[in-house]
Amino acid sequence: MNSSNSTIKKSTIKWLLVFTLVLPSVWLYAQGKEPVKRAKFPDFKSRLDLKSIFFDNPQARLDGPRQINTAPMNNGAPTNIANPTNGGSEGGIPAGEWAALISSTTIEDEIKATKLEIDKIVGIPGKFKGGDYQFARLYFSNLAAMFGVIAEYDGDVRWKKQALGARDAFGKAAANCKVGTDASYNESKLRKVDLEDLVSGASPELKPNPDDFTWGKLMDRAPIMQRLDIALEERLKPWTSDASEFEGNIETVLHEAEIVAALSEILMKPEMEDGEDEDYMAFSNRMKAAGREIVDAVKLNDADRASKAVGEITKACNECHEFYRS
């Protein structure tokens, strides 16, 4: 009995200590903190206006079987670069399907990079007229080409609505920059501002040329060849010289390869100089095929394959120059 009473007394003392010491401390601590306010969990089931947005079983609302992309990436088999089909279709890609040759990302990056170059040369009138007008012709021609591609692009791409006006405005500026004059400089300044607006998200007032469009009217062949030479000699050759260079520049290799493929397609347009010549088309098709081969090599991280494709571009260029010079 005494033992039982002793146990009860100890238990009573323990709880008295809890109430007199611990609980007051907890209460005092709680007074210094604001209660956390939590939003009520949304009730979608009772909202009739949301019945067409949220479903109890979304999978059951989908029509047809689930679509899974099972198309394999290029398996590494070499493309027939040496003897591609003449015309605007090589390797099963119909002419005009620009998305098969150049991605919207490459187009946008090329336009932004060209803007930086124009910023450097359109600023000092004397320097411009002293020789920089030749670079302006190259860069404005490149912009005209890119916006021309955008105007015909078979997919989502930035500046689609402004493409026709931008294409013709930059094409005209390129044509006028064959000479370095006050007029060509002033027009270049205007186009520089238009380009800044486009890149920053504005929509400058650029109206398309009312005349019937042809690629031959838009641009000359020479600036295209200059851009191709930059892609090959200054970038693709050194960046595919060994595996280390390839891996370190793999994204820019992809960019330049797509530029080569797209510009090669432009060279074969019927209105371009020699665009309908069968021999010229064959050389251009070889370059386009090699550009696409480099893209496949990038996807497979195959430096050797990329290097061989760059060699095919070099070979096609050299043979073309020798053929027409003779």
Tell me the average pLDDT of the chain: 81
Query: pLDDT band for position 54 (50/70/90)?
Result: very low
Per-residue pLDDT tens for 205-219? 999 987 889 999 999
What is the distance between the alpha carbons of residues 29 and 38, in angstroms, rounded to a whole number? Answer: 21
Over range 262-277, report the average pLDDT: 93
What is the biggest distance separating any 2 CA atoms in the chain, rounded to whole angstroms? Answer: 126
State the pLDDT at residue 212. Answer: 86
Residue given tokens 């890609």 in the structure block: 93
Do the Cβ atoms of 257 and 295 come closer than 8 Å? Answer: yes
Q: In a 10 Å sphere around its CB, with 0-12 CB exposed, 13-18 middle and 19+ buried, how is residue 131 labelled?
A: exposed
Per-residue pLDDT tens for 170-196? 999 999 999 999 999 999 999 999 999
Question: Hey, what are 20's tokens?
Answer: 């007199």
Residue 282: which of 303, 268, 299 has the closest Cα? 268
Query: pLDDT band for position 80 (50/70/90)?
Result: very low
Question: Is this model's pTM higher than 0.85 or not?
Answer: no
State the pLDDT at residue 325. Answer: 84
pLDDT above 50 (res 62): no
* In the chain, % of residues over pLDDT 70: 71
Q: Which of 54-68, 94-108, 137-151, 286-300 has the lowest mean pLDDT?
A: 54-68
State the pLDDT at residue 153. Answer: 96
More confident residue, 276 or 147: 147
What is the distance between the alpha carbons of residues 311 and 108, in angstroms, rounded to a whole number? Answer: 27
Do the Cβ atoms of 306 and 298 come closer than 8 Å? Answer: yes
Do the Cβ atoms of 264 and 280 come closer than 8 Å? Answer: no
Query: pLDDT band for position 3 (50/70/90)?
Result: low
